[in-house]
Amino acid sequence: MTDSTILQPEGLEQRYKRYKEKIKHFTIMNDIFMRNVLKEISCTEYILQVIMNRTDIKVIDQTLQKDYKNLQGRSAILDCVARDAENNFFNVEIQGENDGASPKRARYHCGLLDMNLLNPGEPFDSLPETYIIFITKNDVLGYNRPISHIQRRINETEDIFQDGQHILYVNSKKQDDTELGRLMHDLHCEEADEMYSNILSTRVHQLKETAEGVNQMCQELEEIYNEGEQSGVQKGELKKARETTLALLEMGMSAEQIAKAVNLSIETIQNWISEASF
């Protein structure tokens, strides 16, 4: 006989209790937690300074989880796009799955940035320098290196083709005793006091261990829950759909319920669940 309480809707207080348990185990490698950490612009600035090996980078504005439109084709939601004082643009992406960090996806992000950075009538030479940065859970490129810098070159001369596009892959598995390795360690830390960076640890402590921060995270998780419950997500935005799927899974929803909530096939949902590791 089925326990009838299982079929009863869960109350807000019960969900918040479960949210708080989940929040304890979040790391910056988690999309939801990352975007809340990066709301503190000093955290974005620090991450860029370490990855770019430049202490002079000053972030003056940024957008998080913005839908970059392509009116003729596929759009995409970019995790973080930051602009520094020299008008360089940086797209920082946390990628937990290999297929989310394919070379052609990096190429597409370059194109989306360009389409959204040049105004009608402006000369092409006005395009700023752009940096697409994929911080990956696995060694996607397979070189066993902490960081890989990609630029176009002229085959006949080996000179760099000065188009202003840069792609960087950062392998978060490499957590050696370097500044970059220590940053990768911090991105995987659940506990603020185990982090090397005071900037990141302060922000993580705020989100996990203060009433204001925990409530902020709970509200965000509740918004995701309501989004899944009430309207699902638009087809074609697979990254956001996958993020919503994993969040709803952590909240206790079954694969069948999630499939209905996000309006995708049960096979797709089950594949995402089987690939994910929590």
Q: In this predicted structure, what is the pLDDT of residue 191?
A: 96
Report the distance separating Cα 253 and Cα 149, nearest Å.
Answer: 40
Residues 215-228 pLDDT 10s? 999 988 888 777 66
Residues 103-153 pLDDT 10s? 999 999 999 999 999 888 999 999 999 999 999 999 999 999 999 999 999
- In the three-class reduction of DSSP (H, G, I as helix; E, B as strand; rest coil), residue 167 is classed as strand
CB atoms within 10 A of CB 215: 13
Q: Hunting for tokens 């049960």 — which residue is that? A: 266
Quick one: what percent of the chain has pLDDT higher than 70?
Answer: 90
Q: Which of 205, 208, 219 is nearest to 16 (CA)?
A: 219
- Domain assignments of the chain as residue spans, ordered by start: 10-23+211-275, 26-209
Top mean pLDDT of 96-110, 179-193, 235-249 is at 179-193
Q: Among 1-15, 123-137, 150-164, where is mean pLDDT lowest?
A: 1-15
Q: What tokens appear for 239 in the block?
A: 């990254």
Which pLDDT band holds residue 233 (cuts at 50, 70, 90)? very low
Q: In this predicted structure, what is the pLDDT of residue 228?
A: 60
Average pLDDT, the chain: 87
Q: Residue 243: is its pLDDT beyond 50?
A: yes
Which pLDDT band holds residue 278 (cuts at 50, 70, 90)? very low
* CA within 13 Å, CB half, 198: 0
Which pLDDT band holds residue 229 (cuts at 50, 70, 90)? low
- In the three-class reduction of DSSP (H, G, I as helix; E, B as strand; rest coil), residue 59 is classed as strand
Q: Measure the CA dihedral 52/56/61/62, to 10°.
A: 10
Higher pLDDT, 8 or 75: 75
Q: In this predicted structure, what is the pLDDT of residue 25?
A: 92
Report the distance separating Cα 67 and Cα 157, nearest Å.
Answer: 39
Q: In this predicted structure, what is the pLDDT of residue 227?
A: 65
Q: Residue 275: is its pLDDT beyond 90?
A: no
Residues 23-75 pLDDT 10s? 999 999 998 899 999 999 999 999 999 999 999 999 999 999 888 887 777 78
Q: In this predicted structure, what is the pLDDT of residue 7?
A: 40
Q: In this predicted structure, what is the pLDDT of residue 68?
A: 85
Question: What sign for the dihedral angle of Cα 12, 18, 24, 29?
Answer: negative
